[in-house]
Structure 1
């Protein structure tokens, strides 16, 4: 915890700095939700097919799902969501490398289920 999943359109594979995003997101998340940096885990899933609106090819999407242990306030979750969107903007540089692309970015911060468990070995 936190468990972070990022789904993104394949069109962004060359312009979305995933490593930079994760390494910037982890300390921000750890600070806001009062956990250790080592507890932050992010995985990325490239979507070969993703459609926005009428399916026009200039549209691309990124959606971030952040799962937290219960107990964080709505205000903390909203602050984290805002920080995630800011980092997405910073680490998704289309511009000259992919002119005309329209990035639709979103984030959802919610509680992990009561059955969430983990272990660390080694």
Structure 2
């Protein structure tokens, strides 16, 4: 179920596939889910700015969407571990942030579309 969105400065070079695989395993270890349920999308951003731009920092922003109902302590632990993982994968100076977002169980829907 987890949906992971990673926005990052397009000039950053890092192994996104390796990051996603580690991230999926980490999420499955921390919350009640499985690796096959995790889905990650990477979105390069050609334009970004941190502060006034004088430090030349890149940006990596990760949002992890999970079904509501997990305690704040668990979500905070997931945030901390994901932040550490991101920092291990990104070598360049960067502003790195993680947000855990809860999805409403009553309205969230998922379909594995088979294609046509």
Judge same fold: TM > 0.5, yes or no.
Answer: yes
Unaligned 5+ runs, structure 1: 95-101
| RMSD value, Cα | 1.4
**In structure 1, what is the Cα distance between the partners aligned to 2:54 and 2:9?**
13
Helix, strand or coil at the partner of 1:11: coil
Alpha carbons 2:50, 2:56 under 8 Å: kept? no
Alpha carbons 2:62, 2:99 under 8 Å: kept? yes
Shift of 1:11: 2.0
> Which residue of the partner structure matches residue 74 of structure 2?
76
Q: State which of 43, 58, 66 in structure 1 corresponds to 2:64.
A: 66
> Which residue of the partner structure matches residue 112 of structure 1?
103
Q: For structure 1, which segment, 49-58 or 62-71, has the greater mean C-alpha deviation from structure 2 after superposition?
A: 49-58
TM-score by length of 2: 0.90
Shift of 1:56: 3.0
> Which residue of the partner structure matches residue 34 of structure 2?
36
Helix, strand or coil at the partner of 1:51: coil
Aligned length: 113
Q: Which runs of 4+ in 1 moved over 6 A?
A: none
Which has a greater percent of helix?
1
Shift of 1:55: 2.2
- Structure 1 residue 2 corresponds to structure 2 residue 2: yes
